[in-house]
Amino acid sequence: MTTEKTATGAGPELPARLEETCQRFQQRRSSRPSKSCPIPQQLRAAAASCVEKFGVNRAAMALGLDSGKLKRKMTSTTRRGQKRAPAFVELLSTSRPPAAERVLELENPAGSRLRIHLKGAVLPDLSELARSFSR
């Protein structure tokens, strides 16, 4: 196994997966025609896999990449490639017509009961009424 190079010399040993990706990056650096050539998609995917497994800083140090730039690339790739689950989903029911009549019964801690008969599709602000009744 090879070791990670740090500012002071050698560091901890690299896991096999990270070492293999590091060797691929070294081969690419030695064979590329110029520094401005973009990183091939397969090598970018391997770097992304290392970031997911070992973290941005460790992967960037081992691969000889700029950690800030790598993090920005990973964030932009994640945003484009994956959809986030919505924080709130409103479910609307259109299969049944609204009930013509509803009955709401409330009981407060003192034992008093309140019964409300509602007719029609429009509901008043019942949360405030329930809060004031339960006090």
Q: Are 17 and 77 part of one and the same domain?
A: yes
Q: Tell me, yes or no, whether 69 and 23 share the same domain.
A: yes
Number of domains observed in the structure of the chain: 2
User: Is 22 contained in some domain?
Assistant: yes
pLDDT computed for residue 133 by the predictor: 73
Strand, helix or coil for residue 16: helix
On whether the CB atoms of residues 50 and 18 are closer than 8 A, the answer is yes
pTM, rounded to two decimals = 0.47
What does the pLDDT read at residue 82? 58
Same domain as 20, residue 73: yes
The answer to whether residue 16 sits within a structural domain is yes
| Rounded mean pLDDT for each run of 10 residues along the chain, 135 residues in total | 40 81 90 82 88 88 87 68 63 64 81 82 69 74
Residue 124's pLDDT is 65
The pLDDT, as a whole number, for residue 8 is 31
pLDDT of res. 20: 92
How far, in Å, CA of 7 to CA of 118, rounded? 75
Tokens of 65: 């990449």
In a domain, 119, yes or no: yes
How many Å is the Cα radius of gyration of the chain? 31
CA distance 67 to 51: 10
Hey, how many other C-beta atoms are within 10 angstroms of the C-beta on 119? Answer: 9
- The boundaries of the domain holding residue 127 are 101-134
Residue 117 lies in a domain: yes
Please tell me whether residues 105 and 68 are part of one structural domain. no
Q: Name the residue type at position 3.
A: T
